[in-house]
């Protein structure tokens, strides 16, 4: 059977417009069944993550980095809550990237990204990422075109280095239609408990939709590499999006086959000591 990774991967040359944001390839069923599928996958993911964490404690150097990119309201926070929320937070390193601070801007764009990398054994999550520096920055022309071009290469080299040093990179583009974004923004306005999420600037960004899609397309064209490919995740349906990203992580971690470390304990001697220590 085909893996979800095979179906959602977007090698360089993939046209974003050919991908349907409402699709649900390989979903276990309709909404309810898929939600149950996510819970089931979550349990297995949690077990694999615990093993990877143990491997890291035992001297292993591997880690996983999940990169989440998407337009406002595409569900980056929802993925963190519903997918990552299923694993032990002790082994997770979550970083949300907003507008760079003055001190961050004084460095190369990858500086703040490097500081947020997951340690060995960890599952790192980037809610937005270094790609903002070729997305929002490109759309608003906050950097010259030649600098954006330099950044694609810098990103490819940097990601290749990460992979070589043991970090598996899973890059997900949460692919949503502009109609779906309108519905979600409207729902935020209709629900006072969601008003805290409201940001009127999002309406200005929305006007730039075609420019954003062109920038995402360029990011796919330039930075979907063999070692760190992009996955385009249909995200108009939240239940599918969450299941799919959980499944992409599960397939990735199954393939990694994390190993329990063997610290070489002398079990009989330790048990004998415990039994005879007199503490009762
Ligand atoms: P939500 O989807 O819930 O609104 P968010 O990810 O949009 O969450 P915000 O704090 O509202 O979180 O927005 C972060 C903002 O920071 C985005 O507008 C993003 O484009 C911007 N940003 C992130 N990285 C960079 C960067 N390198 N340069 C410029 N702007 C950036
Ligand atoms: Mg926002």
Nearest residue by C-alpha to atom 1 in ligand 1: 72
Residue 125 confidence class, pLDDT cut points 50, 70, 90: very high
Nearest residue by C-alpha to atom 15 in ligand 1: 98
CB of 100 within 6 A of ligand 1: the answer is yes
The whole-number pLDDT of residue 62 equals 98
Could you read off the pLDDT of 80-124 as tens digits, one per residue?
A: 999 999 999 999 999 999 999 999 999 999 999 999 999 999 999
Coil, helix or strand for 68?
strand
pTM (2 d.p.): 0.97
Question: For the chain, what is the mean pLDDT?
Answer: 98
The whole-number pLDDT of residue 1 equals 77
Q: Residue range 45-50: average pLDDT?
A: 98
DSSP of 101-160: PHHHHTS-TTHHHHTTPPPTT-EEEEES-GGGGGTHHHHTT-S-HHHHHHHHHHHHHHHH
Class (C level, CATH) for 4-276: alpha beta
Could you read off the pLDDT of 166-209 as tens digits, one per residue?
A: 999 999 999 999 999 999 999 999 999 999 999 999 999 999 99
Predicted confidence (pLDDT) at residue 76 exceeds the cutoff of 80: yes
CB atoms within 10 A of CB 149: 13
The ligand 1 atom at the shortest distance from the C-alpha of residue 133 is 27
Outline where 24-114 has alpha helix (H): 31-57, 76-82, 102-105, 111-114
């Amino acid at each position: 059977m085909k893996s979800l990774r095979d179906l959602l991967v977007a090698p360089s040359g993939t046209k974003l417009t050919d991908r349907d944001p409402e699709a649900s390839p390989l979903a276990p069923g309709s909404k309810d069944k898929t939600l149950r599928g996510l819970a089931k996958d979550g349990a297995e993911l949690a077990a694999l993550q615990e093993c990877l964490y143990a491997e890291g404690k035992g001297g292993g150097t591997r880690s996983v980095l999940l990169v989440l990119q998407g337009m406002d309201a595409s569900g980056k926070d929802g993925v963190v809550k519903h997918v990552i929320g299923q694993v032990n937070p002790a082994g997770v390193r979550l970083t949300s990237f907003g507008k760079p601070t003055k001190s961050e801007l004084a460095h190369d764009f990858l500086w703040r990204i490097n500081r947020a990398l997951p340690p060995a054994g960890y599952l790192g999550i980037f809610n937005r990422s270094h790609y903002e520096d070729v997305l929002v920055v490109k759309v608003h022309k906050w950097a010259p075109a030649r600098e954006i071009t330099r950044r694609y290469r810098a990103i490819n080299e940097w990601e290749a280095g990460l992979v070589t040093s043991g970090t598996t990179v899973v890059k997900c583009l949460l692919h949503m239609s502009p109609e779906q974004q309108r519905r979600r923004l409207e729902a935020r306005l209709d629900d006072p408990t969601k008003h805290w999420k409201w940001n009127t600037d999002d309406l200005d960004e929305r006007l730039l939709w075609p420019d954003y899609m062109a920038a995402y397309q360029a990011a796919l064209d330039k930075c979907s590499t063999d070692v760190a490919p992009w996955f385009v995740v249909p995200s108009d349906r939240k239940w599918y999006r969450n299941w799919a990203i959980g499944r992409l992580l599960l397939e990735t971690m199954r393939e990694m086959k994390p190993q329990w470390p063997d610290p070489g304990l002398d079990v009989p001697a330790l048990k004998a000591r415990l039994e005879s220590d007199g503490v009762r």
